[in-house]
Amino acid sequence: MTQKNAIPSIGPDGAPGAHAAVGCPLIGGTLATRRRRESRPGGGWAQGFTLLELLIGMVVLGILMSIGVSSMARWRQSLDADNFLAGLASDFNVSRTRTQATGQERRIRLVDASTYIVENRATPTAAWSAVRTATFPKPMFDMGATVARRYDFNTKGYVNTYNQSGQLTTSTDIRVLAGSGLKTLSVSALGIARRM
C-alpha cells in the first residue's frame, strides 16, 4: 500500500515497510515517523522516532533553552539592581524618621560607584558608627553625574548634602547606571527619597 509523501523502506525481516508523513512546523518540512515491526509473537506495527529526528528535536530544545536562560539572567540582574535602589531609598526614609524620633544624627555616604554606608552618632561630638553597609556587585551610581556624596540628616527634619570635597551642595539627585528604567533617585530637602 502506498501513501502520499511516504518514504519507502525495508523492515528488519526484509519486507517492504512505510513511513507515515508527519508535518513539522518548526523546520517547515516533514519528518517521517517510522513504523517498524516489533519482535513479538503475533507481530504488529509500532511507531517510533529515528535518531536524526531525536537529534533535531534536542537541538531545537537547546536553542530555546539558551534563549530563555540568557533572558532570565538579564531579568535577574535588573531585579537585583531595582532591589538595591529600593533599599537605598528605604534607608533614606528610615534615616530621616529615626533622626527625628531619637534625636541622634544619621548620615548616608556614597563610598564608591557600588557601595553606600548608613552611619549614626549619639551626640554631635561623638564619632560616627556604621549602622549598615550595602554593596552591589557592579557599579551602580554614576559618580560623574552625582554631585552629592554625603547626606547628613539633622534632628529638625532636614538633610544637608555635601559634595566630594565636603562643601554644601544643592544637587541631591543620585544618578543610577543599572536597573529597569528607574535611573534617578531624587532626595528632597526633607530627606525623602523617591525613584524617578
In a domain, 26, yes or no: yes
pLDDT given at position 12: 55
Same domain, 60 and 140: no
pLDDT given at position 39: 52
In a domain, 73, yes or no: no
State which residues form the domain around 155: 78-195
Last residue of a domain, which of 68, 97, 115? 68
Instruction: Label residue 108 by pLDDT band (50, 70, 90).
Output: very high
Query: Dihedral of CA 37/38/40/42: which sign?
Result: negative
CA of residue 133 relative to chain centroid, distance: 22
pLDDT tens across 48-100, in order? 788 998 999 999 999 999 888 888 888 888 888 888 888 999 999 999 999 99
Nearest to 193 by CA among 131, 135, 132, 108: 108
pTM of the model: 0.65
Residue 117 has pLDDT above 90, yes or no: yes
pLDDT given at position 190: 83
